[in-house]
Amino acid sequence: MKPGVYSLADYLTPERIAKLLTELPAQTEQQKRPPRWFLRFNGNNNTFDFTGVTIEINTELYRTLPYGYMRCVFIDGNGNTIKGLTIKNTGPKDIGSNGNILSIFGNNTLLEDIKVFVSGSSYGYGDLFGKGGPNLTNLQKQSGIMIAGQNNILKRCKVFSRAFGHCFYIQTQGHDTRDILLEDCYAEGEVRTTNDILAEKAGLAEKLNYQSVYQNREGRYMISPGYTKALCEDGFRTYGGVGKVTLRNCTAKNTRSGYEIGGTNDAENRTVLYGCQSFGTERAFLFGSNVLARDCRGDIQYGPLLYLRENTIGSDVELEVISGTPKSLVHTIATIAGKNHRVRLFSNDSQMTMPALPIMLGFGMPAHAEMSSVILPMQTENIELINELEYNPIVKDDKVINVKIKSSSAELLNSTTQKMNGKGKW
């Protein structure tokens, strides 16, 4: 294909749309959201070199396909290689498809140097109004690249999201999804302060009376001042049920979670992160069960370095803190719950200014991982915690069981921090 900019609106004439509608899977009681696409790669063992090619997808085109799950570019053939393609949304910024720009369902797929520029959806507020139910408004989510299937590899792929949706995400979608590698991939969103949202005099926040689906620390379902929200969803997201996944030398910037790894308790393989980075996110790393992280780092500009969530098992995590001074409200460096985990937190910059935020052992992430919500104790046992951060004390819930702690800073019981010593002093 010759280099240049190609508009799908020019290609999808009424005649072609009519033909496309005859090819899409039917909507059934068993499959209420079958895949629908504009471009489909269903052949096998092909190489497509799109270097210098940009395909523009006008968001108004979503309305031409009346049902199902939008997968604008759909790869369900096996053994295909696609290189160099750029995909860009054009058209109204407030129209999303509730789907994604590119989906892989086939096996043995290789994507190299793909760039996706996403726009659309109810944008500008992140997940404050919901993210799947309950919702205060129609979100019209619009995600970037979704991966299912086996032995699929993405190298040097980039997603720039200006929509509410994930940048990269891995799901089963009814497939045996395993042996997935993302290498040198990049996810980027935008952030906005809640103060800016609360200052709106016209817009969706005002229309909804500045409500949020999340209960804040004052017990109100209202947007709280002082925080920074990512306007998209996660940079890199895995869901339960997928097999072996490796993320190597990937970077997330200004997304909700840099990496949200939904590893399950019964996973046969760990999800592995090597050399991954997270900058300017609401939380750098949100981990479930059976995660291995090495040579990974993140900042705390807008949120914690780590949530190792409740009801999880068997993760082994080493994370470096970088760029230590928050730019908005941050309450903790990390919360650690579950059982049979090993966690090491450290910094390689001895001159870095670090606020004395606690590491909370025996606490789950706040509800829905919303920072303005309360952080509560959760069942925690058999934890090895290595804290090499000199100025960040460990606050340990009194009910944690069988924990081994090596720390460069103070270790405090939760009950001790909640009462006076009888002499009017802490």
CA distance 328 to 312: 29
Give the per-residue pLDDT at 248: 98
Lowest-confidence range among 259-273, 288-302, 331-345? 259-273
Residue 422 has pLDDT above 70, yes or no: no
CA distances from 330 to 35, 53, 166, 172, 194 (A): 40, 42, 23, 34, 13
Exposed / middle / buried, residue 419 (Cβ in 10 Å: 0-12, 13-18, 19+): exposed
Q: pLDDT per residue over 27-65, tens digit each? A: 898 888 999 999 999 999 999 999 999 999 999 999 999
Q: pLDDT per residue over 296-354, tens digit each? A: 999 999 999 999 999 999 999 999 999 778 999 999 999 999 999 999 999 998 888 88
Residue 232 has pLDDT above 60, yes or no: yes
Give the per-residue pLDDT at 227: 98
CA distances from 169 to 107, 177, 238 (A): 16, 12, 6
Q: pLDDT per residue over 60-114, tens digit each? A: 999 999 889 999 999 999 999 999 999 999 999 999 999 999 999 999 999 999 9
Q: pLDDT band at residue 264, thresholds of 50, 70 and 90? A: confident
CA distance 125 to 36: 28
Give the per-residue pLDDT at 267: 84
Give the per-residue pLDDT at 78: 98
When the pLDDT of each residue in the chain is averaged and rounded to a whole number, the result is 95
Exposed / middle / buried, residue 20 (Cβ in 10 Å: 0-12, 13-18, 19+): middle
Q: pLDDT band at residue 257, thresholds of 50, 70 and 90? A: very high
Residue 425 has pLDDT above 60, yes or no: no
Per domain, the residue ranges of the chain are: 1-189, 226-230+256-426
Q: pLDDT band at residue 132, thresholds of 50, 70 and 90? A: confident
Q: What percent of the chain has pLDDT over 90?
A: 91
Q: pLDDT per residue over 168-178, tens digit each? A: 999 999 999 99
Q: What percent of the chain has pLDDT over 70?
A: 98
Strands 228-230 and 191-193: antiparallel
CA distance 236 to 192: 20
Give the per-residue pLDDT at 351: 80
Give the per-residue pLDDT at 111: 98
Average pLDDT over residues 241-254: 97
Backbone angles phi, psi at 74, to 5 degrees: -120, 120
Whole-structure pTM value = 0.96
